[in-house]
Amino acid sequence: MSRPNPVVLFGFLVSIIVVLGGLALLKGGLFIAKHEADTLHLVQIVFRMNMGQWPHLDFMTPLGALAYAPIALFTWLGAGIGHAILYAQIAVAVVLLPATWWTGVSRLPRGLAYLFGALVMVLCLAIAFGTEEQTVSISMHYNRWAWAFSFVPIALAVVPPIGRERPLVDGVIIGLCLAVLALIKVTYFISFAPAIALALAFRKDWAAMGWALVAGAGVVVIVTLFAGVGFWFAYAQDLIAVSQSQVRPQPGMNLGRVILSSAYLGATVMAILGVVLYRQSKEDASGYVLLALLPGFFYVTYQNYGNDPQWLPLLAVLLLAMRPKQVRYNRWGWDIRKGMEIAAIAMFAMAAPSYINMGSSPIRQVTFNAGDYEPILMTDGKNSDLQLPHVRARRVDGWMSLVKEGSGLEPMEEGADRTDVGSLLGEPLPYCKLKLGLPGWVKTIADDLDRAGLADGRRVFAADIFSSYWLYGNLKPLINGAPWYYGGLPGFDSADYVLVPLCPASPEERKQILDDIMALEGVALNEIRRTPLYVLLEIER
């Protein structure tokens, strides 16, 4: 087996970081094309962390601290939020580079080592979340990072080493990567840690498993020293609360469709075929490990918005690295080696649109006309380097009911199922759902509160799924609030007002929040301001 040249492979990985990271920085900021709500969610968390707040302890989120800490670090060092995001991506790639390089030189033949390294670096550095949608977006950056940190330990555990075993190096890398996964998005840790442990057990690599446990425990100790034991209990409580929430039980298709729908069935069949063929080669017990990985691959894909099966090229690399060294036939007369190659090639083909899209995203940013963009926070200053197209910031559009008195549509209301609209203090609320222009909507309301003298460092509980008003005005974030609403009333005890948008991003969540507030004992709401955009109620306890 021809191993890659270690120096050339290292230089290849560095060149990817320089090219993709450099292209992303050329524009002088981050110019996203969409997903502004997700971006404002990110900005809220980063700014709160800059205030010294910890995820879970000071605000609610199911995502781990390392999903945002690299970005918060660069804003703390003085970078604007747009540059901080790009610097963080480069930093993640640099941190993962040694482990990616080691995986290539210790596990993979020359061509696969370069391919594997390129896949991991693209996941770190892309400014698009995947799929075939040609856009620039920082939405769900943590999913890309988590995939990158998953690829390395899975490959190290599943593929036997070429030449001498190095359990200390392997174990430390595996343990650190798994700890990072737990602190980015725990779904990945839960999905892949058992299969990785099974792979090490089948290989009887107890030393590597031991070092992995030591490395992982070391991360736990360090985080506990800084955040306290309560951090882990708060993290668990957030995860439990979100898992029980009905607000967003799944971000896309259900699990069955992710596995068997027309868009995914080909990938599922090729993955199962490749694994079955490997098992029939009777090379070793790793076939069981590959089978154990498939449920985790499916589950993570189901959990991620867009349901993009970004694990496909990893499984293809594993199959090609472990195919039989000699021609071997199964009982059906199939050439197992060729069959595994065909399955791997098919998986590469199916994954290509997503990875080409991610890899080319920094190039797309360079081609944009900066004159068509403006700061997402709609203000000058250091953080004006995170920008959004004017049309997405200022074109405030929504879905509204066309049923009005005299319209002739009144009979259509029967069976229209507007039970999700709700009411405010007995007054029915109009049906409207904000679809575009979230920054303009939020800033206009925040400015109105400032002009009316109602902000002045007060805290607002917004009856909506998003609550970014404090980013745009003289308000303070809720204590123990939720930058993205998942259910309950997190942070309500610290709120001075309830703000009821008349065209929320989620009428369903507006209704749920108002119902929950009205069910509280010892709490009264008094209307103190009404505009065409919102109703503001003062909380009396």
In this structure, are strands 427-428 and 423-424 parallel, antiparallel, or unpaired? antiparallel
Mean pLDDT of the chain: 92
Q: What is the distance of C-alpha 256 from the center of its chain?
A: 21
Nearest to 212 by CA among 173, 264, 249: 173
Which residue in the block uniquely carries the two structure tokens 């745009």?
A: 472
Nearest to 62 by CA among 175, 180, 189, 183: 183
Does 416 score more than 80 pLDDT? Answer: no
Report residue 333: phi and psi, to 5°. 85, 10
Which residue in the block uniquely carries the two structure tokens 């050439």?
A: 335
Please indicate whether residue 173 or residue 428 has the higher confidence score (pLDDT).
173
Confidence of residue 196 (pLDDT cuts 50, 70, 90): very high
Distance CA 162, CA 1 (A): 8
Distance CA 266, CA 479 (A): 47
**Kind plus residue range of the DSSP H or E element containing 424:** strand 423-424
Distance CA 180, CA 186 (A): 9
Does 285 score more than 70 pLDDT? Answer: no
CB atoms within 10 A of CB 342: 16
Residue range 429-445, pLDDT digits in tens = 988 999 999 999 999 99
Please give the pLDDT value at position 376. 97
Distance CA 36, CA 388 (A): 8
Does 406 score more than 90 pLDDT? Answer: no
Confidence of residue 374 (pLDDT cuts 50, 70, 90): very high
- CB 174 within 8 Å of CB 196: yes
Distance CA 433, CA 505 (A): 5
Please indicate whether residue 279 or residue 356 has the higher confidence score (pLDDT).
356
Does 53 score more than 80 pLDDT? Answer: yes
Confidence of residue 284 (pLDDT cuts 50, 70, 90): low
pTM of the model: 0.95
Please give the pLDDT value at position 347. 93
Please give the pLDDT value at position 266. 86
Please give the pLDDT value at position 271. 87
Distance CA 107, CA 353 (A): 27
**Kind plus residue range of the DSSP H or E element containing 536:** strand 534-540
- Name the 3-class secondary structure at 73: helix
Please give the pLDDT value at position 413. 77
Does 42 score more than 70 pLDDT? Answer: yes
Please give the pLDDT value at position 334. 84
Report residue 423: phi and psi, to 5°. -145, 165
For the chain, give percent helix, strand, coil, nearest 5: 55, 10, 35
Does 286 score more than 80 pLDDT? Answer: no
Highest mean pLDDT among 156-170, 209-223, 245-259, 283-297: 209-223
DSSP string, 374-399: EETT-S-SGGGGEEEEHHHHH--EEE
Mean pLDDT of all residues in 91-113: 96
Please indicate whether residue 271 or residue 327 has the higher confidence score (pLDDT).
271
Please give the pLDDT value at position 248. 65
Confidence of residue 249 (pLDDT cuts 50, 70, 90): low
What percent of the chain shows pLDDT beyond 90? 75
Does 532 score more than 80 pLDDT? Answer: yes
CB atoms within 10 A of CB 142: 19
Please indicate whether residue 443 or residue 110 has the higher confidence score (pLDDT).
443
Does 243 score more than 70 pLDDT? Answer: yes
Burial class from Cβ neighbours inside 10 Å (0-12, 13-18, 19+) for residue 324 reads middle
Mean pLDDT of all residues in 92-110: 97
Confidence of residue 283 (pLDDT cuts 50, 70, 90): low
Nearest to 34 by CA among 175, 149, 137, 141: 137
Please give the pLDDT value at position 67. 97
Angle (nearest 5°) at CA 71 between 67 and 75: 150
- CB 529 within 8 Å of CB 454: yes
Residue range 5-38, pLDDT digits in tens = 999 999 999 999 999 999 999 999 999 999 999 9
- CB 121 within 8 Å of CB 152: no
- Strand locations in 30-152 (E): 30-31
Residue range 473-517, pLDDT digits in tens = 999 999 999 999 998 999 999 999 999 999 999 999 999 999 999
What percent of the chain shows pLDDT beyond 70? 98
Mean pLDDT of all residues in 263-290: 82
Please give the pLDDT value at position 250. 65
Please give the pLDDT value at position 246. 75
Mean pLDDT of all residues in 456-463: 96
